[in-house]
Structure 1
């Protein structure tokens, strides 16, 4: 569901003019106070399945993005809340849900046009605050300094994994498998033509693959909000993930030499160990 207000005078609002140039209309909808659609398909939300947690995962991510985008407008009456189109449970229909925007308290976001600026000097001066905000969208517990050493194209996937491990959705070895797959796909360190389809799809990895990509999409939108301009690239190969998942599960562990330094989720309190 996407809205575009034809009555908006773009020439009088440089923010709207900039937002309309973005490929995704998510920020534009949020800025002009139109319902933001976060409905999903092909995600098992039945009770007892971890897809049931999707609303609890995605709503805070959206509201914190809104808090960053609207920070300098929060005194306006129409900027304290935002409406989300979402399916709250397996047996629920899609509905409009209104929530209070969550504004950051630990750091002041720059104006939205500065966040989205492509000027190299502005980007460089805001690097630290952008990383602080990016980390905050994922969690209150993540030290943003850990993101500094992470290649930009791995940041959104890593924040996705951090969030899912902290919420006890993923076991540590599952996060490791996902990170290894993301690494191999993003940096093309494997021959995709040699990957064979699995004989049978496991129930859990099948659901993990869908949930990971859904949550990643929201962190990718957050990266756009913060002005990270990494060129588009592939980050996931579902066939490779299914094969690696079964291999790692059977062997108990595999080499993590390529990803060890980026396992920012390792050591999270409450993280689920391998079972």
Structure 2
């Protein structure tokens, strides 16, 4: 091998660093997700900090207990941006790199708007079903345990595997005109639909857990599960490990007042 040829051979670590240092077309949207996290942290440290002491602040938890409103939907939208927009970064990068430079941001914004609209629509359905949930009169711990058990079961279904596989599929993007706008929107709808089919049960857990003193902890854990599944080359093992962790959390919540309960 010549010296020039040897210089071209780089280790996977070097290539990963080079990719990290390259300009990111999706940087603006990543910053939007960071801003959503900052807003949620600020909410938890101010008005939301008393959620675990019997006060139901504006959150998705109110929807579960029959107190849905515009504030609940706004909180759900903020959580969707913080938790689900990072999972769409690979798709956003695909849209950005396959669009003409002068319309790149427009195409990515169209994709993100449609993608998030899917999740906001799911939130509307949850809020609409809130009166039915309220009639069950389940304690908060029982409701969260049921949601965790449901999420654990969904992780092991063939439908979960198919949806996660669909999350990795790309879509052709026309270069210009209304066809380009429609192409970005259609791709956002497909990605949002696949992500919803994959993660609806995890976000249901988040809807039940929000408003608690440990809301940010649940958000971090569930976001980590979503991101690991989305970015792993072989997601089968992360999906299975997540199912075990969710099932263990459900069992722990079902136990009578354990001393180590942190939320």
Query: What's the TM-score once normalised by structure 1's chain length?
Result: 0.30
| Higher helix content, 1 or 2 | 2
Name the structure where strand makes up a greater proportion of residues.
Answer: 1
Q: Which has the higher contact order (CA 8 A, sep 6+)?
A: 2
